Amino acid sequence: MSKKESIQRFLEPKKIAIAGVSANPKKFGYTIFNDLRKKGFDICPINLKVDEIDGIKCYSSVSEVPEEYKKLFIVTPKEATDQVLKEAVQKGINHVWIQQTANTKESAAIAEENNIDLIEKECIYMFADPVGGIHKFHRTINKIFGLLPK
């Protein structure tokens, strides 16, 4: 499957668990949680430290995520990424997106060893429609120069 097809498949059902959601509105982990919800996504937040964010129940680990969430977006600090990825393997989640800069040198190997359809080194904002603001401009530039996933 091509990276483009993997991205489209990841975003299709609009039902995603997100590891690394923050309760702090100034952090990226909150921004992505909030923005994807505004775009119509059903988000299952994962955060070790809080029970809920904006009235939505948070889960403390991937293992606690309800079964209907088959896709995992990871926006954790790098130090936690591979552990979260391994939890996804144990949970049976086989489609994972690691937000650009959150991946490690080992992430791809862990995914490959466990037959995980992995998207990495991409910003979800570039693909989660409707794309707006600077991301729309950036996506257009990437398209012109043939830099979008194929």
CA distance 28 to 20: 9
Report CA-CA distances (Å) from 6 to 10, 70, 94, 100: 6, 14, 11, 16
Determine which of 26-30, 117-121, 135-139, 143-147 has the lowest per-residue pLDDT on average. 135-139
More confident residue, 127 or 84: 84
Q: What's the Rg (C-alpha) of the chain?
A: 15
Taking residues 106-123, report their average pLDDT.
96
In percent, the amount of the chain with pLDDT more than 90 equals 77
Please tell me the class of the 3-144 domain.
Answer: alpha beta
| For range 19-42, the mean pLDDT | 95
